[in-house]
Amino acid sequence: MKKTSTRLADGRELIYYDLRDDSVRDAVDRRPLERTVTTSEVRRDPLLGDSVAIASHRQGRTYHPPADECPLCPSQGGRLSEIPDSTYDVVVFENRFPSLAGDSGRCEVVCFTSDHNASFADLTEEQARLVLDAWTDRTSELSHLPSVEQIFCFENRGAEIGVTLGHPHGQIYAYPFTTPRTALMLRQVAAHKDATGGDNLFDAVLERELADERVVLEGEHWVAFVPYAAHWPYEVHLYPKRRVPDLLGLDEAARTEFPKVYLELLKRFDRIFGEGEPPTPYIAAWHQAPFGQLEEFDGVNRDDFALHLELFTIRRTSGKLKFLAGSESGMNVFINDVPPERAAERLREVASS
């Protein structure tokens, strides 16, 4: 992997990740851009104890542009985009309309490929490995920012999810706090550790799932399963078999196997609802241990956390979506229409040949 860092016309950082060591990235951003001005502010809810990002400048962000005006495609001729070069393998750059900025964190865009009409599932194993390397590198770099406590790499895919740019891409949020979902996990880990005299909850969950009927696919170093209490109609958790706290902890064997396992999982997601159906909308979310202090979680340290990816779709059946209505949105109590055992069975049925 070759990494080349440059700056866009408004001062934002852009980084090329190339498969070839002889790639030259010297194109200049020729757009007449002014410096980006953001109004991002993090406010803490005194009743729930969680944080909300207030970012009014995002109202003006790019919204469903035509394909020939996509800002994530390479610059070609007189059409200038966020990527100055005429081609690329993987690109990461600071979001022009960030939810978090300055002392409130940082937001980045990750372009998986220059092919506008592709998806992550269309990548080769070599390309998917490059994306993994880019996620890992950004996790390392962002963890050193003084305002950053937790790093979240994720992909939103599909208009039903709320994606406003059709180009295959993901994002990285660097939060100035430990996110509520991670805090819940850490509290459960602490409680389990205390109740069992030191056992790890993630290890116990993984051992249970490996022995159950909800395993979807398994490699030497990774396992994918539908969790016992899945929140979403089709939800798969992907774990490395050796517990590590973050992407930085993966060894070479796990990194090498990951593309094959993950690409197969994504292809199965696109087959869930049968031939002729539009691509399955999904969210793919990496869960990593926070880099901040964990004193509030009694007896828990970073190594007690287990890196994993959660992949889920909001489509519950052909042509129907799972909406977060009263119980989910009002009380955070999910109601799942698809039994996890049936979801796992379906994802095994649609294995690629």
Q: What is the pLDDT of residues 83-140, one digit of tens each?
A: 999 999 999 999 999 999 988 999 999 999 999 999 999 999 999 999 999 999 999 9
DSSP helix/strand/coil, 13: strand
* In the block, residue with structure tokens 């003006």: 60
pLDDT at 200: 98
If pLDDT is split at 50, 70 and 90, which confidence band does 353 have? low
Classify each residue of 46-81 as buried b or exposed e, where b means 16 or more C-beta atoms within 10 Å of its C-beta. Answer: eeeeebebebebbeeeeeeeeeeebbbbbbeeeebb
Between CA 341 and CA 352 the distance in angstroms is 20
| Tokens, residue 240 | 């490395």
* CA-based end-to-end distance of the chain: 31
Q: Where are the alpha helices (DSSP H) in the chain?
A: 125-142, 180-196, 201-210, 252-269, 331, 340-349
Q: Phi and psi of 181, rounded to 5°?
A: -65, -40
* Active-site residue flag, 169: yes
Cβ pair 172, 142 in contact under 8 A: yes
Over pLDDT 90: what percentage of the chain? 88
Among positive and negative, which fits the CA dihedral 153, 159, 163, 165? positive
Between CA 144 and CA 148 the distance in angstroms is 7
| Tokens, residue 255 | 């990194």
Between CA 71 and CA 29 the distance in angstroms is 13
CA distances from 137 to 103, 133, 173 (A): 21, 6, 14
Between CA 253 and CA 190 the distance in angstroms is 30
| DSSP strand pairing (106-111 vs 150-157) | unpaired
Out of 144, 167, 169, 287, the active site residue is: 169
pLDDT tens profile 162-210 = 999 999 999 999 999 999 999 999 999 999 999 999 999 999 999 999 9
pLDDT tens profile 6-23 = 999 999 999 999 999 999
| Tokens, residue 273 | 């609802």
Between CA 172 and CA 201 the distance in angstroms is 27
